[in-house]
Chains A and B, each alone.
Chain A
Amino acid sequence: MAGIAAWGAYAPRLRLSRKAVTEANAWVAPNLKAKGKGERSMANWDEDALTMAVEAARDALGPDDDRSHIDSLYFASTTAPFADRLNAGIVSAALTLEKSIAASDVTGSQRCGLTALGQALAAGGTALVAVGEHRKARAVSAQELDFGDGAAAFVVTDDPGAAELLGRGSVTDDFVDHFRGDDGGFDYYWEERWIRDEGVVKLVPPAIRKALEIAGLSPSDIDHFCFPSTFAGMAATLAKAVGIRPEAVRDNLAAVMGEAGCAHGPIMFAHALEDAKKDEVILVAQFGQGAEALVFRATGAGHGPARGVTGSLADRQEETNYLKFLTFNGLVEWDKGMRAEKDNKTALTTLYRNEDMILGLVGGRCRETGVVQFPRTRISVAPNNPAVDTQEPYRFAERKALVLSYSADYLTFSMAPPNHYGMIVFEGGGRIMMDITDVAPGDVETGLPVRMVFRIKEVDEKRGFVRYFWKAAPDRAAIASQTAQAAE
């Protein structure tokens, strides 16, 4: 039976202190003080649902350049950057998947992440399911404290792999607990008690029971119960209602990352896979115009992700500047200065002609000299050997790299000044002048190990277009390893 061959997860490095938010808003919303504990994940200005999904997918796929085994892709999100452009197409290009794959965007409900996973498992073949969510909420709302940003990804195969699918249950019912119109910036919610008592409590159990029935299991067989909810104790209430052992209810990560919408069920599932022992049963369910429930048995086989949920959450930077959060999320109209006035119109012809270079970070390697370069050009850059038409595609995204030169620029427009950028040199050859992200002044120095991350390059606010490219981010694992070696 089909199963999960590999999985990965991603949480942005920034974690917004809830206390910083509630203190800033205490003058107008003292009632929110009760929610002032812990922290929530906060996308950097250059991260969105799509970039986070790409990072989770890379975590699942590993550093191997050959991704030809993937024959279909599902990108799930309710906060995808494009309403009419195949978001999965951008994910596919970033991951340099084959052009021959089938790809689809799955959206429209908080359960769409699990829906995509269920559909991929049912369809057969080797599929990549990438789920990302960058949740938007009004300032001074309960949601901005409850929500979080994040992503998870799974490689689904016809073989059981690391976890075998045992059953799936779905319920579809137009229960509108909240909604967001196609031009709406924020969710509109109905009364919490109604959502909980008439919605979650009544619509989720049938999906779980159906999944268990197909699996031939009873609720007490479940070792890991993953159910995201912003209602305190909701998973425990459901467990009790269904007959799942209380100790099977998993931490919903609300204290450390908040609730990442449609990605949260998948994130909790990825987290459970990291902990599950051989033959343990994992049930993951999520609510949204009905519910989706999937039951798996961990096989104990396969390798986990490099970072996963645990690694991603361990890589954190506390953010106490609530204004920065508001600014990154477009909730403050601020004076960006004259340098932000430049037109960021994207030439779609140029983008398409250079698609593998821009979205996939693919350069060239000379067949004759082996010289690696970015970008790929007809005449090789190798001094004294300007060979013509000898270059084959060469992928840079998974290569280790170092900073050769850098600056922190306070003059140019940046959403997070100073703008760091520099010449990045790659192990195995090649160099790219590129932006450096996820850093603060003092973090960058010549020789700093970096890794490539897929990020928003610029936003064309006039036309609503998002431009993506790769950036260098400190390779904190490599830095830690260097520090450990130096200490010995």
Chain B
Amino acid sequence: MPQGIRDKVAILGMGCSKFGERWDAGPDDLMVEAYLEAMQDAGVEPTQLDAAWFSTHIDEIGSGKGGTPLSIALRLPNIAVTRVENFCASGSEAFRGAVYAVAAGAADIALAVGVEKLKDTGYGGLPVANPGTLNPQVMPNGSAPGNFAQLASAYRAKHGVSKDDLKRAIAHVSVKSHANGAKNPKAHLRKPITAEQALNAPMIAEPLGLFDCCGVSDGAAAAIVTTPEIARSLGKHDLVTVKALQLSVSNGYESQYNGWDGSHFHTARVAAGKAYKEAGIERPREQISMMEVHDCFSITELVTMEDLFISPEGQGWRDVLDGFYDADGGVPCQIDGGLKCFGHPIGASGLRMLYEMYLQLQGRAGERQLSNPVFGMTHNLGGAPASNVCSVAIIGQEGA
């Protein structure tokens, strides 16, 4: 196994725009909002940035292709800017690019910015994508909730869970996230919900009701990374360092080979296994302090608890109902409200998740602050369960 990234790169600063229906802002405004906060947090000047990574998924809706949208919006000093796109893991990809550049010594200080302006599409829900020339001739005319909802049918079949029990469990996933999001001024949705509301909501894609789906929002998030040595030289202490960055991408096994049962994410298990090894974590259920996972849909979060080896296989739904992932549970999940309350401006989400873990590790999460977190994990899934990309990142106290 490669040497890995553990403790080679520190987070110097982070920023996150207010997420929501940002009718007042374009993607450039959102990027600037996140960037200025990150720059102030890092205490550096634009001229100190060596390179930048820019993540946006749907370039047709405002931000545009290539690196120029970021460079122009931020008036960067003609440094290298690379646009990355990897479905819903795009923000994590931008972070990965910046971290790897620093770890390689190619940059001393690097910037990662992710943005998406979904509310300029006119759609409730993600806009209809252009999937190329072959897929639409073969693949079902589906939606993101319809694709992810399929996990529920396969999970029920595999583990013998009744429709009612699973629906109650995924309802609790959303109730928990709304309770957390209500405490977060940057979240889009800030009202707590009840289990009854979740259970009785209009159906979007069986068995996912309205409250089983994350919001559609605008937002941006940014990270500035450097080496621990440079961070210290800039006067930073109690550093938050990168412990692991892993990305696993489907190779057609799930969609074309009869080995996958449809109830879980094969790539998440691969990425999580490698991430724990890279971070030196042997007992994730005890060692991971908190998580921000890709809760695009409540069922996604539920099966992810098993894919990240936090809950035993087939038992995730029980842990959820037992409150193990609540703010006061064993491994708090979606402390900031998650995609559920922040919505999912695709290019920004991975960085938004890291922002919360970073704030928590620095003890700066205000009303949401957990006691003494050591490791924070983020997780993104892009594509659809049968064909996806999964990123897992672990950050934590330096030396932990």
Contact = CB atoms under 8 A, between A and B. Distances in A.
With a 10 A CB-CB cut-off, give which of A342, A354, A358 has the most chain B CB atoms. Answer: A342
B255 A411 contact: no
Interface string A234-253: 00000000000000000000
Interface in A304-360: 338-339, 341-344, 346-347, 349-351, 354, 357-358
Interface stretch (B38-46, B122-130, B173-181, B224-232): B122-130
Contacts of A349: 133
Interface string B164-189: 00000000000000000000000000
A447 interface: yes
Contact of B256 (A357, A381, A469): A381
A409 B142 contact: yes
Nearest to A351: B137
Contacts of B143: 339, 409, 411-412
Given A419-B140, A419-B141, A422-B150, A430 B157 contact: no
B252 A381 contact: yes
A405 B151 contact: yes
A441 interface: yes
Interface stretch (B17-25, B202-210, B333-341, B391-399): B202-210
A469 B154 contact: no
Nearest to A470: B138
A421 B144 CA distance: 12
Contact of B157 (A371, A409, A447): A447
Contacts of A411: 125, 143, 145-146, 204-205
Interface string A353-386: 0100110000000000001011101000111000
Contact of B258 (A341, A431, A435): A431
Contacts of A438: none
A272 to B, nearest CB: 39
A34 B201 CA distance: 45
A404 B152 CA distance: 11
B147 interface: yes
A409 B205 contact: yes
B313 interface: no
A198 to B, nearest CB: 49
Interface in A388-421: 403-414, 418-419, 421
A354 B136 CA distance: 13
Contacts of A445: 153
Interface string B296-338: 0000000000000000000000000000000000000000000
A446 B146 contact: no
A145 to B, nearest CB: 32
B133 A409 contact: no
Contacts of B257: 371, 373, 381-383, 431
Interface in B225-259: 251-253, 255-259
Given A338-B123, A410-B203, A411-B204, A423 B150 contact: yes
B262 interface: yes
Interface string A63-103: 00000000000000000000000000000000000000000
On chain A, which size bracket covers the interface?
35 or more
Contacts of B206: 407-409, 418, 441
B282 interface: no
A14 to B, nearest CB: 20
A418 B122 CA distance: 21
A431 B203 CA distance: 27
With a 10 A CB-CB cut-off, give which of A342, A351, A410, A445 has the most chain B CB atoms. Answer: A410
Contacts of B141: 412-414, 419, 421, 435, 458
Contacts of A346: 137
A341 B129 CA distance: 11
B139 interface: yes
A142 interface: no
B153 A457 contact: no
Contacts of B122: 338
Interface string A267-300: 0000000000000000000000000000000000
A376 B60 CA distance: 32
A422 B261 CA distance: 12
A122 interface: no
Contact of A407 (B137, B146, B261): B146
B123 A339 contact: yes
Given A405-B262, A408-B206, A347 B133 contact: yes
A429 interface: yes
A409 B145 contact: yes
B58 interface: no
A171 interface: no
Nearest to B156: A446
B205 A408 contact: yes
A405 to B, nearest CB: 4
A258 B377 CA distance: 64
Contacts of B351: none
Contacts of A430: 256, 258
B134 interface: yes
B138 A409 contact: no
Interface in B262-306: 262-263
Contacts of A458: 136, 141
B128 A446 contact: no
B258 A425 contact: yes
A342 B204 CA distance: 20
A354 B253 CA distance: 21
B297 to A, nearest CB: 10
B280 to A, nearest CB: 28
A206 B202 CA distance: 64
A350 B256 contact: no
Given A373-B256, A405-B154, A433-B255, A350 B134 contact: yes
A79 to B, nearest CB: 23
A467 B134 CA distance: 12
Contacts of B208: 407
Contacts of B258: 425, 429-431
B153 A422 contact: yes
A385 to B, nearest CB: 11
A410 B204 contact: yes
A375 B255 CA distance: 10
Nearest to B155: A405
A350 B137 contact: yes
B386 A433 contact: yes
A422 B157 CA distance: 14
Interface in B84-134: 122-123, 125, 128, 130, 133-134
Contacts of A373: 256-257
A309 B203 CA distance: 38
A421 B130 CA distance: 19
Contacts of A404: 154, 261-262
B346 interface: no
With a 10 A CB-CB cut-off, give which of A349, A407, A421, A425 has the most chain B CB atoms. Answer: A407
A20 interface: no
B140 A433 contact: yes
Interface of B: 122-123, 125, 128, 130, 133-134, 136-143, 145-147, 149-154, 156-157, 202-206, 208, 251-253, 255-259, 261-263, 386
28 contacts: A342-B128, A347-B134, A350-B134, A354-B137, A358-B138, A371-B257, A405-B153, A405-B154, A405-B262, A405-B263, A407-B205, A407-B206, A408-B205, A409-B145, A409-B204, A409-B205, A410-B205, A411-B143, A411-B145, A411-B205, A418-B205, A421-B142, A422-B153, A425-B258, A430-B256, A433-B255, A434-B138, A457-B137
List 6 tightest A-B contacts by C-beta distance, closest first. A409-B146, A421-B140, A347-B133, A405-B150, A407-B149, A405-B262
Given A342-B128, A346-B137, A421-B142, 8 more contacts: A381-B256, A383-B259, A405-B153, A407-B205, A429-B258, A433-B386, A446-B154, A458-B136
Interface of A: 338-339, 341-344, 346-347, 349-351, 354, 357-358, 371, 373-375, 377, 381-383, 403-414, 418-419, 421-423, 425, 429-431, 433-435, 441, 445-447, 457-458, 467, 469
